[in-house]
């Protein structure tokens, strides 16, 4: 399908109600950003995708529509709204393989109805299905798309709703709920209250460029964590049944032990660029670029992270013996690991990683590909149901 240039009247609502600065921020993919005379919005199932300026009007990717406009657009009108008040919501549920799912889901549905909320429920049937269901929900006009599951389900819904007028909500039903923890939500009851009486406001989103297992270049958004190296090998060695049976944190500890004993996930020669400058060229165990504070099922990996500060928090670990990894690991629960002699912690807008041999990569706890990789932040790119401002976004 050829891209088409649209007049202002045909620009979608979600684009028309963004200021130019916010739209430019949302479209700032790596080194390219549109000029005021060439505001470009790419609409596709997976969200915003980069396009070179010379491609305007001639995009050839299937499903992409190119919009150009040189007027100043109106401010976004969503911020501050009560999350699901007077709105239709779609709950996208990852049913997992557990007898407890029906009970947990039932009590959350009851709580939402007691709050007077209107919603419909759809169940995922396979990996990637949440993207399809959420995309359909956006097209059908649902004001809030709620990911009911773990961080993997949140990731899929994020990749469907970003750039749309719909807001993202989340309810915990998975092994890891670090997205909710990073928002300051620690229980299913709090999550239901936020959907009923919280507020919608913009948070940052991470954008990952990487190589998939077939060697193809890919892009994907992430909500909380991008990991290169050891953490991704731990994900690889965590069977889903173990993750759901033990819970995120305990399951991660068991898999960390399995990975270490098996001799997998060792340090590799890597180069790391921070905001375009080569900063590290040495053997590294892992590199993590976080948008949220928590990862790994409640580990306080990025204690200084905020989800609305326009920055990624990077934590990397140099090569070290396995026994010393065990001394580092307990400190992560308290967030005191960032002072460790073998670690480095810093904040950037963009970080790139290369390795002599391809190293595994995961996003929001899902193994997706390998290096080379680049991670950047899109400030305020996603509308999210959050606790009111008294409760700080992390």
Q: Is 288 an active-site residue?
A: no
Please check whether residue 379 is in contact with residue 19, taking contact to mean a CB–CB distance below 8 angstroms: no
Cis peptide bond upstream of 372, omega within 30 = yes
CB-count burial class (<10 Å; 0-12, 13-18, 19+) for 390: exposed
CA dihedral 122, 123, 127, 131 (to 10 degrees): 10
Given the residues 190, 288, 366, 390, select the one marked as catalytic.
Answer: 366
Q: Give Rg (Cα) of the chain.
A: 20
What angle do helix axes 248-261 and 322-334 make, rounded to 10 degrees?
170
Q: Both tokens of residue 317?
A: 């670990």
CA distance 301 to 342: 15
Q: What string of H, E and C letters represents the secondary structure of the chain?
A: CCCCCCCHHHCCHHHHCCCHHHHHHHCCECCECCCCCCEEEEECCCCCCCCCHHHCCCCCCCCCEEEEECCCCCCCCCCCCECCCCCEEEEEECCCCCCCHHHHHHHHHHHHHHCCCEEEEEECCCCCHHHHHHHHHHHCCCCEEEEEECHHHHHHHHHHHCCCCCEEEEEECCCCCHHHHHHCCCCHHHHHHHHHHCEEEEEEEEEEEEECCCCCEEEEEECCEEEEEHHHHHHHCCCHHHHHHHCHHHHHHHHHHHHHHCCCCCCEEEEEEECCEEEEEEEEEEEEEECCCCECCCECCCCCCCCCCCCEEEEEEECCCHHHHHHHHHHHHHCCHHHCCCEEEEEECEEEEEECCCCEEEECCEEEEEEEEEEEEEEEEEEEEECCCCCCCC
Q: Which residues are catalytic?
A: 366
């Amino acid at each position: 399908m050829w891209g088409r240039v649209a007049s202002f009247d045909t620009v979608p609502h979600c684009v028309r109600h963004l200021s130019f600065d916010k739209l430019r921020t949302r479209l700032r993919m790596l080194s390219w950003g549109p000029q005021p005379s060439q505001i470009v919005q790419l609409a596709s199932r997976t969200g915003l995708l980069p396009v070179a300026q010379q491609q305007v009007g001639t995009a050839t990717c299937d499903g992409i529509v190119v919009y150009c406009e040189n007027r100043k657009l109106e401010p976004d009108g969503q911020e501050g709204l009560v999350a699901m008040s007077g709105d239709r919501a779609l709950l996208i549920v990852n049913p997992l393989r557990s007898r407890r799912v029906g009970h947990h889901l039932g009590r959350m549905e009851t709580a939402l109805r007691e709050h007077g909320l209107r919603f419909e429920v759809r169940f995922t049937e396979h990996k990637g299905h949440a993207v399809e269901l959420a995309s359909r929900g956006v097209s059908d006009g649902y004001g809030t798309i709620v990911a009911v599951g773990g961080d993997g389900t949140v990731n899929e819904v994020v990749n469907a709703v970003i750039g749309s007028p719909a807001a993202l909500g989340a309810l915990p039903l998975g092994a890891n709920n670090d997205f909710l923890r990073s928002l300051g939500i620690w229980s299913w009851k709090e999550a239901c209250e936020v959907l009923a009486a919280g507020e919608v406001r913009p948070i940052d989103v991470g954008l990952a460029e990487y190589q998939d297992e077939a060697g193809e270049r890919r892009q994907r958004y992430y909500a909380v964590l991008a990991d290169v190296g050891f953490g991704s090998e731990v994900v690889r060695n965590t069977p889903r049944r173990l993750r759901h049976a033990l819970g995120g944190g305990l399951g991660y500890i068991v898999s960390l032990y399995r990975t270490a004993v098996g001799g997998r996930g060792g340090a590799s020669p890597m180069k790391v660029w921070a905001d375009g400058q080569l900063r590290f060229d040495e053997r590294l165990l892992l590199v993590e670029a976080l948008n949220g504070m928590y990862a790994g099922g409640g580990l306080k990996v990025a204690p200084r992270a905020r989800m609305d500060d326009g920055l990624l928090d990077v934590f990397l670990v140099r090569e070290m013996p396995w026994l010393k990894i065990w001394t580092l690991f307990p400190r992560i629960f308290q967030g005191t690991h960032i002072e460790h002699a073998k670690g480095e912690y810093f904040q950037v807008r963009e970080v790139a990683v290369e390795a002599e041999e391809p190293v595994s990569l995961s996003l929001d706890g899902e193994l997706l590909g390998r290096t080379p990789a680049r991670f950047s932040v899109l400030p305020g790119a996603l509308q999210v149901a959050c606790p009111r401002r008294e409760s700080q976004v992390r």
